[in-house]
Amino acid sequence: MKVEFSAAQIAALLGGKVEGDPEAKVWNVARIEDGAPGMLSFLSNPKYIPYLYNTKSTIVLVNEDFEATETVTTTMIRVKNAYESFAQLLAIYQEYTNNKEGISENAFISADAEYGEACYIGEFAYIGERVKIGNNVKIYPLCYIGDDAVIGDNTVLYAGVKLYAMTHVGKECIIHSGAVLGADGFGFVPQPDGTYKKIPQIGNVLVGDNVEIGANTTIDRSTIESTKIHNGVKLDNLIQIAHNVEVGENTAMAAQTGIAGSAHVGKNCVIAGQVGVSGHLTIADRTIIGPQSGLTKGVSEPGKSIMGSPAYDYPKYMKDIVRQRSIDKLESRIVELEKKLNELLSK
């Protein structure tokens, strides 16, 4: 379905000012360098300014203080911050296109489950016993919601999400396809005969408000008490959060990161891709961890940047990398010095 928006409508939504044709219409978005008729683009980074003068996009968002040095043939909308306004438009469009409501006849909902107003529950979704679902929740097809789970208002579960029993998800959350919350933690006791005895995992997973969880990410239930993902956390695809882990508010993690059991990650941390965190460590607030790092000890100082495996102070790590790249030159110098020394000794 093609939905068109005029420059005047977009400017009204964003509090912007139109320069050009207020009736110019767009129905999709494109990068400014790849623009085409009917496309909306934005200009934020100064290095892309040259593209503005020959873009084929019908409308371009620009910062309100932008000064053109050549003729602009496309319609511009001046806004306070073009990048933020573009993101705001995408959010409005997504809300419009994803505004599903209604309960599928093919969904299974237990008799004692509760759900609020304006909910969507898609085909072949399973809603277990005593589940509580808030208002305007979207549960896409083939989702599984285990017994005693709780889902807050305005949360979206995309197709194939699995919430095990007693999992609690807050308000305004987005959980992408294939994510599994509440599977058993990896707890086993080695036996004298070399086998393993499973430790029952009887806790749950608690997810705060405004959390986003990527596709195929897994968060294990705790052995006892709760695995906790606090408000505002953003988890990428393919992340593993083990049992009894706690992730502080507004922390972001990139793909393929793994947090081992009982680790505590502070608030406002940034963790890059393929990072491994050993169990029972504490990472201070505002820590930044570079890609492919491995943490074998905790971080006690807030706001520190670290990298490497084992991870250590980022500035020192970068200096060490420079030194490593100079090893061949150093080896050549040492060989030359040894040669000269041997010549002197022979005399």
More confident residue, 322 or 105: 105
Kindly report, residue by residue over 47-96, the tens digit of the pLDDT. 999 999 999 999 999 999 999 999 999 999 999 999 999 999 988 887 77
Alpha-carbon span 32 to 41, nearest angstrom: 5
- Arithmetic mean of pLDDT, 100-126: 96
Give CATH for domain 102-318.
2.160.10.10
Please choose, from the candidates 134, 133, 164, 159, the residue with its C-alpha nearest in 3D space to the C-alpha of residue 146: 164
- The answer on pLDDT for 159 being more than 90 is yes
Q: Are strands 258-259 and 240-241 parallel, antiparallel or unpaired?
A: parallel
Q: pLDDT band at residue 322, thresholds of 50, 70 and 90?
A: confident
Q: pLDDT band at residue 332, thresholds of 50, 70 and 90?
A: confident
Kindly report, residue by residue over 210-242, the tens digit of the pLDDT. 999 999 999 999 999 999 999 999 999 999 999
Burial group, residue 342, by CB count within 10 angstroms (0-12, 13-18, 19+): exposed
What's the length of the chain? 347
Alpha-carbon span 14 to 202, nearest angstrom: 48
Q: How far is CA 10 from the centre of its chain?
A: 27
- Arithmetic mean of pLDDT, 148-177: 98
pLDDT at position 67: 94
pLDDT at position 85: 96
Alpha-carbon span 119 to 137, nearest angstrom: 5
The catalytic residue positions are 243
Helix (H, G, I), strand (E, B) or coil at 299: strand
Helix (H, G, I), strand (E, B) or coil at 142: coil
Q: pLDDT band at residue 101, thresholds of 50, 70 and 90?
A: confident
pTM for the whole thing?
0.84
Tokens of 104: 């599928």
Kindly report, residue by residue over 253-289, the tens digit of the pLDDT. 999 999 999 999 999 999 999 999 999 999 999 999 9
Alpha-carbon span 101 to 4, nearest angstrom: 22
Kindly report, residue by residue over 5-51, the tens digit of the pLDDT. 999 999 999 999 999 999 999 999 999 999 999 999 999 999 999 99
Alpha-carbon span 235 to 239, nearest angstrom: 7
pLDDT at position 1: 56
Tokens of 329: 């030159």
Helix (H, G, I), strand (E, B) or coil at 295: strand
Report domain extents, the chain. Answer: 5-97, 102-318
Topology of domain 5-97, CATH: 3.40.1390
Q: Which amino acid is at 189?
A: V
